[in-house]
Chain A
Amino acid sequence: MTNTVTLNHLGRSVFGGLGNISSGSLRTSLDSTWNNFLSQQQQRTFIQMRTVLKVVDNSGAKKVMCIQALKGKKGARLGDTIVASVKEAHPNGKVKKGEVVYGVVVRAAMQRGRCDGSEVKFDDNAVVLLDKQGQPRGTRVFGPVPHELRKKKHLKILTLAEHIA
Protein backbone atom coordinates (compact mmCIF):
# COMPACT_ATOMS: atom_id res chain seq x y z
CA MET A 1 0.00 0.00 0.00
CA THR A 2 2.75 2.45 0.87
CA ASN A 3 4.63 1.61 -2.34
CA THR A 4 2.07 3.36 -4.50
CA VAL A 5 2.02 6.43 -2.24
CA THR A 6 5.81 6.94 -2.24
CA LEU A 7 6.03 6.46 -5.99
CA ASN A 8 3.34 9.09 -6.44
CA HIS A 9 5.40 11.56 -4.40
CA LEU A 10 8.49 10.64 -6.41
CA GLY A 11 6.67 11.23 -9.66
CA ARG A 12 5.52 14.66 -8.54
CA SER A 13 8.98 15.77 -7.41
CA VAL A 14 10.58 14.59 -10.67
CA PHE A 15 8.03 16.58 -12.62
CA GLY A 16 8.79 19.71 -10.60
CA GLY A 17 12.54 19.36 -11.11
CA LEU A 18 12.31 18.93 -14.86
CA GLY A 19 10.21 22.00 -15.36
CA ASN A 20 12.89 23.87 -17.33
CA ILE A 21 13.68 21.08 -19.82
CA SER A 22 11.93 21.01 -23.20
CA SER A 23 8.51 19.40 -23.33
CA GLY A 24 9.58 16.38 -25.43
CA SER A 25 11.98 14.84 -23.00
CA LEU A 26 9.75 15.83 -20.13
CA ARG A 27 6.87 13.84 -21.54
CA THR A 28 8.90 10.66 -22.02
CA SER A 29 10.21 10.66 -18.46
CA LEU A 30 6.76 11.42 -17.14
CA ASP A 31 5.33 8.54 -19.20
CA SER A 32 7.77 6.09 -17.70
CA THR A 33 7.03 7.21 -14.16
CA TRP A 34 3.31 7.00 -14.78
CA ASN A 35 3.71 3.51 -16.29
CA ASN A 36 5.54 2.40 -13.17
CA PHE A 37 2.87 3.99 -11.06
CA LEU A 38 0.05 2.26 -12.88
CA SER A 39 1.65 -1.18 -12.72
CA GLN A 40 2.21 -0.78 -9.01
CA GLN A 41 -1.00 -2.48 -7.89
CA GLN A 42 0.77 -5.07 -5.85
CA GLN A 43 0.37 -8.71 -6.61
CA ARG A 44 0.04 -10.09 -3.10
CA THR A 45 1.68 -13.42 -2.44
CA PHE A 46 2.21 -15.96 0.28
CA ILE A 47 3.50 -15.51 3.77
CA GLN A 48 7.02 -16.85 3.74
CA MET A 49 10.31 -16.54 5.59
CA ARG A 50 11.06 -12.98 6.68
CA THR A 51 7.46 -11.82 6.39
CA VAL A 52 6.56 -9.55 9.27
CA LEU A 53 3.07 -9.99 10.60
CA LYS A 54 0.96 -8.20 13.13
CA VAL A 55 -0.16 -10.02 16.26
CA VAL A 56 -3.82 -9.53 17.07
CA ASP A 57 -4.24 -11.14 20.45
CA ASN A 58 -3.27 -10.08 23.91
CA SER A 59 -0.43 -12.52 24.34
CA GLY A 60 2.12 -9.71 24.65
CA ALA A 61 3.81 -9.75 21.24
CA LYS A 62 3.28 -6.96 18.74
CA LYS A 63 5.15 -8.03 15.64
CA VAL A 64 6.52 -11.41 14.59
CA MET A 65 8.63 -12.47 11.68
CA CYS A 66 7.79 -15.72 9.95
CA ILE A 67 10.62 -18.22 9.86
CA GLN A 68 8.81 -21.21 8.44
CA ALA A 69 5.48 -21.92 6.80
CA LEU A 70 4.46 -25.34 8.07
CA LYS A 71 2.29 -26.29 5.12
CA GLY A 72 2.84 -25.35 1.50
CA LYS A 73 5.98 -25.15 -0.56
CA LYS A 74 5.55 -21.55 -1.61
CA GLY A 75 4.39 -20.21 1.70
CA ALA A 76 1.49 -19.92 4.07
CA ARG A 77 -1.95 -18.61 3.22
CA LEU A 78 -5.01 -17.59 5.15
CA GLY A 79 -5.72 -20.19 7.81
CA ASP A 80 -2.30 -21.91 7.80
CA THR A 81 0.05 -22.21 10.76
CA ILE A 82 3.54 -20.76 10.77
CA VAL A 83 6.60 -20.74 12.98
CA ALA A 84 7.66 -17.23 13.83
CA SER A 85 10.11 -15.25 15.89
CA VAL A 86 8.92 -12.39 18.03
CA LYS A 87 10.46 -9.13 16.92
CA GLU A 88 8.55 -6.66 19.02
CA ALA A 89 6.68 -7.22 22.25
CA HIS A 90 4.87 -5.37 25.00
CA PRO A 91 7.11 -4.78 28.00
CA ASN A 92 5.17 -6.98 30.40
CA GLY A 93 3.51 -9.76 28.51
CA LYS A 94 3.52 -13.51 28.45
CA VAL A 95 5.70 -13.55 25.34
CA LYS A 96 9.14 -11.98 25.16
CA LYS A 97 11.18 -10.64 22.29
CA GLY A 98 13.26 -13.24 20.47
CA GLU A 99 10.97 -16.13 21.37
CA VAL A 100 10.11 -18.72 18.75
CA VAL A 101 6.35 -19.19 18.60
CA TYR A 102 3.68 -20.88 16.53
CA GLY A 103 0.84 -18.90 15.04
CA VAL A 104 -2.13 -19.15 12.71
CA VAL A 105 -2.61 -16.61 9.95
CA VAL A 106 -5.96 -14.93 10.49
CA ARG A 107 -5.69 -12.12 7.98
CA ALA A 108 -3.73 -12.17 4.75
CA ALA A 109 -3.37 -9.61 1.99
CA MET A 110 -3.44 -12.43 -0.54
CA GLN A 111 -6.91 -13.46 -1.62
CA ARG A 112 -8.14 -16.89 -0.63
CA GLY A 113 -10.70 -18.65 -2.73
CA ARG A 114 -13.69 -20.27 -1.13
CA CYS A 115 -15.58 -23.29 -2.35
CA ASP A 116 -18.50 -21.27 -3.71
CA GLY A 117 -16.32 -19.18 -6.01
CA SER A 118 -15.99 -16.16 -3.76
CA GLU A 119 -12.67 -14.73 -2.65
CA VAL A 120 -11.71 -12.84 0.46
CA LYS A 121 -8.77 -10.61 1.12
CA PHE A 122 -7.81 -8.33 3.96
CA ASP A 123 -5.74 -5.20 4.03
CA ASP A 124 -2.96 -6.54 6.26
CA ASN A 125 -1.28 -9.72 7.48
CA ALA A 126 -2.02 -10.86 11.02
CA VAL A 127 -1.48 -13.89 13.23
CA VAL A 128 -2.82 -15.25 16.47
CA LEU A 129 -0.18 -17.00 18.55
CA LEU A 130 -0.74 -20.63 19.46
CA ASP A 131 0.94 -23.19 21.64
CA LYS A 132 2.15 -26.55 20.47
CA GLN A 133 -1.30 -28.11 20.80
CA GLY A 134 -2.97 -25.45 18.68
CA GLN A 135 -4.76 -23.56 21.44
CA PRO A 136 -4.46 -19.75 21.42
CA ARG A 137 -2.10 -18.25 23.93
CA GLY A 138 -4.04 -15.05 24.42
CA THR A 139 -7.53 -14.51 25.75
CA ARG A 140 -8.81 -11.93 23.29
CA VAL A 141 -8.66 -11.57 19.54
CA PHE A 142 -8.97 -8.22 17.78
CA GLY A 143 -10.34 -7.52 14.33
CA PRO A 144 -12.23 -9.74 11.89
CA VAL A 145 -11.35 -13.40 11.30
CA PRO A 146 -12.36 -15.52 8.33
CA HIS A 147 -14.56 -18.59 8.12
CA GLU A 148 -11.63 -20.70 7.04
CA LEU A 149 -10.58 -21.18 10.66
CA ARG A 150 -13.61 -23.36 11.29
CA LYS A 151 -12.40 -25.98 8.90
CA LYS A 152 -8.90 -25.82 10.35
CA LYS A 153 -10.38 -26.55 13.79
CA HIS A 154 -9.48 -23.24 15.44
CA LEU A 155 -12.89 -22.93 16.98
CA LYS A 156 -11.68 -21.17 20.11
CA ILE A 157 -10.37 -18.27 18.04
CA LEU A 158 -13.73 -18.02 16.28
CA THR A 159 -15.55 -17.74 19.57
CA LEU A 160 -13.16 -15.06 20.82
CA ALA A 161 -13.32 -13.03 17.63
CA GLU A 162 -15.08 -9.70 17.30
CA HIS A 163 -16.37 -10.35 13.84
CA ILE A 164 -16.32 -13.29 11.47
CA ALA A 165 -15.76 -12.11 7.94
Chain B
Amino acid sequence: MASKALPQAVFITPRSSNQCPPKKLGLSTFPSPRSSSLNLNRLSTPRFSSNSFGFHFRPIVVSPKRFFILKAEADSEGELGPDENTEEEETVSEIESEVTLDAEDEAKPPRIPRVKLGDIMGILNKRAIEASEKERPVPDLRTGDIVEIKLEVPENRRRLSVYKGIVISKQNAGIHTTIRVRRIIAGVGVEIVFPVYSPNIKEIKVVNHRKVRRARLYYLRDKLPRLSTFK
Protein backbone atom coordinates (compact mmCIF):
# COMPACT_ATOMS: atom_id res chain seq x y z
CA MET B 1 0.00 0.00 0.00
CA ALA B 2 2.65 2.41 0.96
CA SER B 3 4.85 1.51 -1.96
CA LYS B 4 1.94 1.89 -4.34
CA ALA B 5 1.03 5.22 -2.95
CA LEU B 6 4.63 6.30 -3.14
CA PRO B 7 4.92 7.46 -6.73
CA GLN B 8 1.89 9.70 -6.51
CA ALA B 9 3.06 11.29 -3.32
CA VAL B 10 6.54 11.54 -4.71
CA PHE B 11 5.33 13.68 -7.55
CA ILE B 12 3.27 15.90 -5.33
CA THR B 13 6.01 16.68 -2.83
CA PRO B 14 8.29 18.66 -5.13
CA ARG B 15 5.42 21.11 -5.48
CA SER B 16 4.44 21.32 -1.85
CA SER B 17 7.95 21.63 -0.52
CA ASN B 18 8.06 25.13 -1.97
CA GLN B 19 5.00 26.32 -0.08
CA CYS B 20 4.95 24.34 3.11
CA PRO B 21 6.96 21.48 4.58
CA PRO B 22 5.50 18.11 3.71
CA LYS B 23 3.80 16.59 6.67
CA LYS B 24 3.59 13.01 7.72
CA LEU B 25 5.63 11.77 4.76
CA GLY B 26 9.18 10.79 5.21
CA LEU B 27 9.64 11.27 1.51
CA SER B 28 12.17 14.01 1.32
CA THR B 29 14.19 12.47 -1.48
CA PHE B 30 13.30 10.54 -4.59
CA PRO B 31 15.39 9.59 -7.60
CA SER B 32 14.62 12.34 -10.08
CA PRO B 33 15.47 10.64 -13.33
CA ARG B 34 12.84 7.98 -13.76
CA SER B 35 12.41 5.70 -16.74
CA SER B 36 9.25 6.45 -18.62
CA SER B 37 8.13 2.86 -18.81
CA LEU B 38 8.23 2.55 -15.06
CA ASN B 39 6.02 5.56 -14.68
CA LEU B 40 3.37 4.34 -17.08
CA ASN B 41 3.24 0.96 -15.36
CA ARG B 42 2.85 2.47 -12.01
CA LEU B 43 0.20 4.89 -13.12
CA SER B 44 -2.68 2.46 -13.19
CA THR B 45 -2.05 0.84 -9.85
CA PRO B 46 -2.18 3.78 -7.50
CA ARG B 47 -5.44 4.93 -9.05
CA PHE B 48 -7.76 3.12 -6.70
CA SER B 49 -5.60 3.91 -3.73
CA SER B 50 -5.30 7.54 -4.64
CA ASN B 51 -8.75 8.44 -3.42
CA SER B 52 -8.18 7.02 0.00
CA PHE B 53 -4.71 8.45 0.07
CA GLY B 54 -5.94 11.77 -1.15
CA PHE B 55 -8.72 11.76 1.40
CA HIS B 56 -6.17 10.99 4.03
CA PHE B 57 -4.20 13.88 2.72
CA ARG B 58 -7.02 16.32 2.78
CA PRO B 59 -7.18 17.93 6.20
CA ILE B 60 -3.45 18.48 6.30
CA VAL B 61 -2.25 19.32 2.84
CA VAL B 62 -5.19 21.35 1.60
CA SER B 63 -3.35 24.50 0.53
CA PRO B 64 -0.44 22.98 -1.35
CA LYS B 65 -2.91 21.13 -3.53
CA ARG B 66 -4.41 24.40 -4.61
CA PHE B 67 -1.00 25.86 -5.26
CA PHE B 68 -0.16 22.65 -6.93
CA ILE B 69 -3.01 23.00 -9.35
CA LEU B 70 -2.19 26.59 -10.22
CA LYS B 71 1.41 25.80 -10.81
CA ALA B 72 0.61 22.79 -12.94
CA GLU B 73 -1.56 24.90 -15.19
CA ALA B 74 0.97 27.69 -15.32
CA ASP B 75 4.02 25.73 -16.32
CA SER B 76 2.55 22.60 -17.70
CA GLU B 77 5.01 22.62 -20.51
CA GLY B 78 7.92 24.22 -18.74
CA GLU B 79 10.10 22.04 -16.59
CA LEU B 80 8.41 18.70 -16.73
CA GLY B 81 8.70 15.84 -19.08
CA PRO B 82 5.62 14.49 -20.82
CA ASP B 83 5.26 11.52 -18.44
CA GLU B 84 4.98 13.57 -15.34
CA ASN B 85 2.65 15.94 -17.12
CA THR B 86 0.07 13.25 -17.83
CA GLU B 87 0.26 11.97 -14.30
CA GLU B 88 -0.32 15.39 -12.87
CA GLU B 89 -3.32 16.00 -15.06
CA GLU B 90 -4.94 12.84 -13.81
CA THR B 91 -4.17 13.62 -10.22
CA VAL B 92 -5.43 17.14 -10.81
CA SER B 93 -8.81 15.80 -11.92
CA GLU B 94 -9.05 13.65 -8.85
CA ILE B 95 -8.07 16.47 -6.58
CA GLU B 96 -10.37 19.01 -8.19
CA SER B 97 -13.44 17.42 -6.70
CA GLU B 98 -11.92 17.55 -3.27
CA VAL B 99 -10.81 21.14 -3.79
CA THR B 100 -14.33 22.30 -4.61
CA LEU B 101 -15.52 20.83 -1.36
CA ASP B 102 -12.80 22.76 0.44
CA ALA B 103 -13.87 25.94 -1.27
CA GLU B 104 -17.36 25.47 0.12
CA ASP B 105 -15.96 25.08 3.62
CA GLU B 106 -14.07 28.34 3.30
CA ALA B 107 -17.23 30.15 2.22
CA LYS B 108 -18.76 29.43 5.66
CA PRO B 109 -17.76 31.76 8.53
CA PRO B 110 -14.37 30.89 10.04
CA ARG B 111 -14.65 28.62 13.05
CA ILE B 112 -14.34 30.27 16.44
CA PRO B 113 -11.36 28.68 18.20
CA ARG B 114 -12.52 26.60 21.11
CA VAL B 115 -11.30 27.69 24.54
CA LYS B 116 -9.23 24.92 26.04
CA LEU B 117 -9.53 24.19 29.74
CA GLY B 118 -5.90 25.05 30.44
CA ASP B 119 -6.23 28.58 29.00
CA ILE B 120 -9.13 29.83 31.10
CA MET B 121 -7.13 31.32 33.96
CA GLY B 122 -4.84 33.08 31.52
CA ILE B 123 -7.80 34.61 29.72
CA LEU B 124 -9.47 35.70 32.94
CA ASN B 125 -6.27 37.26 34.22
CA LYS B 126 -5.79 39.16 30.98
CA ARG B 127 -9.33 40.49 31.15
CA ALA B 128 -8.91 41.61 34.74
CA ILE B 129 -5.62 43.32 33.91
CA GLU B 130 -7.19 45.11 30.96
CA ALA B 131 -10.04 46.30 33.14
CA SER B 132 -7.64 47.68 35.71
CA GLU B 133 -5.37 49.22 33.08
CA LYS B 134 -8.29 51.24 31.73
CA GLU B 135 -8.76 53.01 35.03
CA ARG B 136 -5.12 53.51 35.82
CA PRO B 137 -2.25 52.65 33.49
CA VAL B 138 0.61 50.82 35.14
CA PRO B 139 4.14 51.76 34.08
CA ASP B 140 6.70 49.14 33.22
CA LEU B 141 8.31 48.18 36.53
CA ARG B 142 11.57 46.34 36.92
CA THR B 143 13.78 45.34 39.81
CA GLY B 144 16.06 48.21 40.72
CA ASP B 145 13.58 50.97 39.95
CA ILE B 146 13.23 53.62 42.60
CA VAL B 147 9.54 54.08 42.76
CA GLU B 148 6.98 56.32 44.44
CA ILE B 149 3.57 54.88 45.23
CA LYS B 150 0.50 56.80 46.30
CA LEU B 151 -1.83 54.59 48.24
CA GLU B 152 -5.29 55.17 49.57
CA VAL B 153 -5.67 53.50 52.95
CA PRO B 154 -9.20 52.71 54.09
CA GLU B 155 -8.37 53.67 57.68
CA ASN B 156 -6.75 56.95 56.79
CA ARG B 157 -9.13 58.27 54.21
CA ARG B 158 -8.18 61.90 54.55
CA ARG B 159 -5.12 61.91 52.35
CA LEU B 160 -3.02 59.50 50.35
CA SER B 161 -0.05 57.72 51.91
CA VAL B 162 3.16 58.00 49.93
CA TYR B 163 5.65 55.17 49.81
CA LYS B 164 9.00 55.57 48.23
CA GLY B 165 11.69 52.95 47.85
CA ILE B 166 13.56 50.57 45.64
CA VAL B 167 11.83 47.63 44.01
CA ILE B 168 13.67 44.58 45.26
CA SER B 169 11.51 41.98 43.61
CA LYS B 170 8.64 41.58 41.23
CA GLN B 171 6.46 38.49 41.27
CA ASN B 172 4.38 37.98 38.17
CA ALA B 173 1.07 36.28 38.82
CA GLY B 174 -1.46 37.80 36.46
CA ILE B 175 -3.75 40.12 38.34
CA HIS B 176 -1.86 39.59 41.62
CA THR B 177 1.46 40.79 40.24
CA THR B 178 3.27 42.26 43.24
CA ILE B 179 6.31 44.38 43.80
CA ARG B 180 8.28 44.48 47.01
CA VAL B 181 9.51 47.95 47.89
CA ARG B 182 12.20 48.53 50.49
CA ARG B 183 13.16 51.70 52.28
CA ILE B 184 14.80 52.79 55.50
CA ILE B 185 12.20 54.82 57.43
CA ALA B 186 13.29 56.57 60.59
CA GLY B 187 16.27 54.27 61.01
CA VAL B 188 14.37 50.98 60.49
CA GLY B 189 14.17 49.02 57.26
CA VAL B 190 10.65 48.45 56.01
CA GLU B 191 9.59 46.23 53.14
CA ILE B 192 6.10 46.44 51.76
CA VAL B 193 4.56 44.18 49.15
CA PHE B 194 2.16 46.04 46.85
CA PRO B 195 -0.22 44.34 44.44
CA VAL B 196 0.35 46.39 41.31
CA TYR B 197 -3.19 46.24 39.96
CA SER B 198 -4.90 47.02 43.24
CA PRO B 199 -7.60 49.71 43.09
CA ASN B 200 -6.24 51.23 46.30
CA ILE B 201 -3.07 52.29 44.57
CA LYS B 202 -3.72 55.67 43.08
CA GLU B 203 -0.42 56.28 41.36
CA ILE B 204 2.86 54.54 40.67
CA LYS B 205 5.71 56.65 39.42
CA VAL B 206 9.23 55.57 38.60
CA VAL B 207 11.54 58.34 39.77
CA ASN B 208 14.90 56.74 39.14
CA HIS B 209 16.64 53.53 38.31
CA ARG B 210 19.62 51.86 39.87
CA LYS B 211 21.71 49.45 37.87
CA VAL B 212 21.44 46.00 39.43
CA ARG B 213 22.58 42.66 38.16
CA ARG B 214 19.96 40.57 39.84
CA ALA B 215 16.24 39.93 39.73
CA ARG B 216 15.80 39.83 43.51
CA LEU B 217 17.79 42.22 45.65
CA TYR B 218 17.49 40.41 48.96
CA TYR B 219 21.16 41.14 49.64
CA LEU B 220 20.15 44.69 50.51
CA ARG B 221 18.81 43.42 53.83
CA ASP B 222 22.33 42.60 54.97
CA LYS B 223 23.99 45.66 53.58
CA LEU B 224 24.42 49.08 55.05
CA PRO B 225 21.24 51.07 55.58
CA ARG B 226 22.73 53.78 53.40
CA LEU B 227 22.01 51.66 50.29
CA SER B 228 18.30 51.50 51.03
CA THR B 229 17.78 55.13 51.96
CA PHE B 230 15.91 57.35 49.55
CA LYS B 231 15.04 60.94 50.26
Q: Is B138 an interface residue (CB 8 A)?
A: no
Question: Is there an interface contact between B190 and A165, defined as CB atoms closer than 8 Å?
Answer: yes
Contacts of A5 in B (CB 8 A): 222
Question: Is there an interface contact between B190 and A123, defined as CB atoms closer than 8 Å?
Answer: yes
Interface code A9-46, partner B: CB below 8 Å = 1, 0 otherwise?
A: 00000000000000000000000000000000100000
Quick one: which of A111, A126, A147 contacts B193, CB cutoff 8 A?
Answer: A111
CB contact under 8 A between A144 and B190, given known A1-B221, A4-B222, A116-B198? yes
Q: Is B187 an interface residue (CB 8 A)?
A: yes
Q: Is B32 an interface residue (CB 8 A)?
A: no
CA A4 to CA B218, docked complex, whole Å: 12
CB contact under 8 A between A163 and B198, given known A4-B222, A117-B176, A120-B192? no
Query: Which positions 171-195 of chain B face chain A at CB distance < 8 Å?
Result: 176, 178, 185-195
Name the residue on B nearest A150 (C-beta): B155
CB contact under 8 A between A162 and B198, given known A5-B222, A115-B154, A147-B153? no
Q: Is B44 an interface residue (CB 8 A)?
A: no
Question: Is there an interface contact between B185 and A144, defined as CB atoms closer than 8 Å?
Answer: yes
Interface residues, chain A, with chain B CB atoms under 8 Å away: 1, 4-5, 41, 107, 111, 115-124, 126, 142-144, 147, 150-151, 162-165
8 further contact pairs, Cβ within 8 A, besides A111-B193, A165-B190? A5-B222, A122-B188, A123-B221, A144-B190, A162-B186, A163-B185, A164-B161, A165-B192
